[in-house]
Structure 1
């Protein structure tokens, strides 16, 4: 957040309403809604943490930047995440597997994927025929049904 605070130093903030601001970042203009926690750069809503445009507003109006952070980034919640113990997995020889699970046989998937990009199936219009059959013509004599190699 310190890096974003440094990036926000040269930005110009213009208030619109109590919670709506326009922030000029070089040649770009971003609209920030502090109530809804939305910025046109979309970083504010994606990270649920103040973007550099939000921090420019926070700096100008002496607000707390931590007020606009998600509760998941706060120290108490981070510590609560690791409060529940994570037990190690014992050796496989002492696992207790139920008999109905032990008798299940898991088969590999049927067929293999072909290498390369899968071919898309084109949906045909009502006027097009379902199968398109074309007859080959010979380049030497011009007759149909064979080519120049078999002429």
Structure 2
């Protein structure tokens, strides 16, 4: 079937075309009737004119065009037409002297200097990569685009950056002495007092104060820092209230000791305070 079909399409004369059609009818009548409904004369060389000077019967050009505008087909009408217009828009390059080219885009002229690797749009100057105007010249002259990329993108430049290592430095003992003024370190303010120790950072589960049980129906009390207010201070040296042992004025007094409580023993009565 495939061989008969291409015989009809590639026939140069009407006689060859008719022979192919007859072979198709004898091979499969159903396929023959379907083929005649599609007007096979439109895809046969036998009915081509000599104006186009083209014998190609394939549809590759239409396939390429459809693949190019495939993304634009999914857009609204105005955006689709604008996308197709941009795809069909091309730059035109006109050669000048000394490596200069005049590239026209949207009726705007751009001067491209291939020797200096510059363009009036300055994109090539800033990035080191040929802009679209320079690429138009490269494609027009059939040059290689890689030859016009800046050397800073080459691997050889990257390797040259790390080619030399840091040179070793001898110790101060081997330095040559000079008569120049010796540079002194800057002065620092003297610190006063002992250096404060950093307090231990408490964990998340640690509380800075004791917790109190909350009665039923009572709101939870706010966490307040413990205070020394209303606390009676007793000196541990002389036993007198109102001051502590650090500020005790009775330096000659005997050391005060707290009374011990007697424990109940078997057969004894209630506790009695011991005399100091």
TM-score by length of 1: 0.46
Q: Which has the higher strand share?
A: 1
Q: Highest relative contact order (Cα 8 Å, sep 6+), 1 or 2?
A: 1
TM-score by length of 2: 0.27
Q: Which has the larger radius of gyration?
A: 2
Q: Which has the higher helix share?
A: 2
